[in-house]
Structure 1
Amino acid sequence: MAQDTTVTVYNTTAITTDPLQTPYSFKLSLTQTLRGGAIFQVTNLHQAKIAEQAGACAVTVSDQQRMTDPSLIKSIKRSVSIPVISPVRIGHFVEAQILEATGVDYIDENESLTIADDQNHINKHNFRTPFISSASNLGEALCRIREGAAMIRIQGEVKNSGNIAKTVMHVRCLMKELRVLSNMDDDEVFTFSKRIQAPYDIVAQTKQMGRLPVVHFAAGGIVTPADAALMMQLGCHGVFVGAEVFGYEDCFKRVKGIVQAVRNYNDPNVLVEIMMGLNLGDGDGDGDDDRVENE
């Protein structure tokens, strides 16, 4: 119905959306299905099948430059049964329109790609597809949620170097800010929201809930099961893993181990079994692994 639609104008292009078709609460429920899982970045169909067989909850199809070729996205969607995510450049709402038309399950507004608009993020409420956005602190996370993000990716390094230090720092920073907020007097929330440059109402909601209003995963430098378990013990709901894990000879075992570590992150005995026999050195970078059934 006309009275229920929202019209947003970008220059001379009007985008009309019906919030009753895909309400924000429904997008949140979709991202909740990923909770407790591991999402793997893949660059080809072979890697996507490895991730699926190893138990990944979803795959991100990306080439780390610009929007992924829609033909590759469609090929992977036809071949795997798990959700498919694809990134867009920050602020590039046309790329998001194209990805939504390909039928991706989630769109990731990703800072590791070349930024299209350094002043404005995408208005995610204009899309039926749930959005994932990155943040390094509570203020950024709440601003992205206000824009319509249904999942937050706490991002560390983006160069696939295997350095987890920045990810740990950002996760600890966000969790500390959540604890500080939860213990505040209500009158202090106004000043706190100004300091972190986030909308007051969503800051107040976060305080009341005692957590972020959406699912949050960690990303950056996660290459071993121990890395994944660390992120979970620090309070994340899951992990994003870069395509560098497919550069190890034991990549199927490694991917499966990361999935199992996310599920058993508080059990050191299980983690011991998962870590045994893994090559903990550098990957060979070829991204090949022959262990895919029915290939």
Structure 2
Amino acid sequence: MDVINAEQAKIAEEAGACAVMALERVPADIRKEGGVARMSDPKKIKEIMAAVTIPVMAKVRIGHFVEAQILEALSVDFIDESEVLTPADDQNHVNKHDFSVPFVCGARDLGEALRRIAEGASMIRTKGEAGTGNVVQAVKHARTINHQIRIAKAMDSTELYSYAKELGVSHELLKKTAELGRLPVVNFAAGGLVIVS
């Protein structure tokens, strides 16, 4: 549940939320106004963490390792390297192996999902268009990932090697995914969709 203050976090917890995402404002609104959507104010995150007993997550911009270091120092429960924030680096994501706090990252297809996992993501998310409530894109991305896994599962070792190159991912990680018939980490879709993990 997205929250912007301690009061909302308490309400979310009382309503049964299993975790809250600490936000300063809705990122889509910030971008619409021409602003830079970045990590929430650490003071606000601390207030939210002090108000609830459930896990608190917070977002960092793609590639912004310093924001991730700040969140780790605050002891958040999960870091979301989020595509809804204004990217800090359009070429590189945060090396999540450098952190002890688990990361969740978004993915639109199998290649993106496996690259984020290779970087150290503990969870993959597919989601609709941020701030709209429209889950069409979440459904599309979930179907795409599942379809590409089925394709990989049907391939022989030579084809799988070529497919790994095509997707820009590790052959070993793709092979493991094909053998499992699913991503090797938890995969969830925002917006009320359920994906078997």
Distance apart, 1:118 and its partner CA: 0.6
The residue identity in structure 1 corresponding to 2:50 is R
Distance apart, 1:82 and its partner CA: 0.7
Q: Is 2:87 the partner of 1:126?
A: no
Identity score, percent: 51
Q: Partner of 1:146 in structure 2? A: 118
Alignment counterpart, residue 180 of structure 2, candidates 209, 212, 230: 209
| Residues 157 and 145 (structure 1), Cα distance of their counterparts in 2 relative to 1, 3 Å cut | same
Aligned equivalents of 1:236 and 1:185: distance in 2?
25
1:44-123 paired onto structure 2 within 5 Å? 44-62=5-23, 63=25, 64=27, 65-123=37-95
The structure that has the greater radius of gyration is 1
Gaps of 5+ in 1: 1-39, 223-227, 238-295
Deviation digits for residues 210-267 of structure 1, max 9, x if unmatched? 1101001112xx2xxxxx2xx11xx256xxxxxxxxxxxxxxxxxxxxxxxxxxxxxx
2:103/2:121 contact within 8 Å kept? yes
Q: Partner of 1:26 in structure 2? A: none
Distance apart, 1:95 and its partner CA: 0.6
Higher relative contact order (CA 8 A, sep 6+): 1
1:1-295 paired onto structure 2 within 5 Å? 40-62=1-23, 63=25, 64=27, 65-158=37-130, 160-219=131-190, 222=191, 228=192, 231-232=193-194, 235-236=195-196
Deviation larger for 68-77 or 87-96: 68-77
2:68/2:79 contact within 8 Å kept? yes
Aligned equivalents of 1:54 and 1:115: distance in 2?
32
TM-score, normalising length from structure 1? 0.61
Aligned equivalents of 2:22 and 2:188: distance in 1?
17
Gaps of 5+ in 2: 28-36
Distance apart, 1:112 and its partner CA: 0.7
Secondary structure of the corresponding residue to residue 216 of structure 1: strand
Distance apart, 1:183 and its partner CA: 2.1
What do you get for the CA RMSD once the two structures are aligned? Answer: 1.3
Distance apart, 1:115 and its partner CA: 0.7
Secondary structure of the corresponding residue to residue 122 of structure 2: strand
Deviation digits for residues 106-147 of structure 1, max 9, x if unmatched? 111001111101111100000111111110001000000000
Aligned equivalents of 2:157 and 2:14: distance in 1?
48
Any runs of at least 4 consecutive aligned residues in structure 1 with deviations exceeding 6 A, and if so which? none
Aligned equivalents of 2:2 and 2:160: distance in 1?
38
Secondary structure of the corresponding residue to residue 181 of structure 1: helix
Aligned equivalents of 2:117 and 2:168: distance in 1?
13
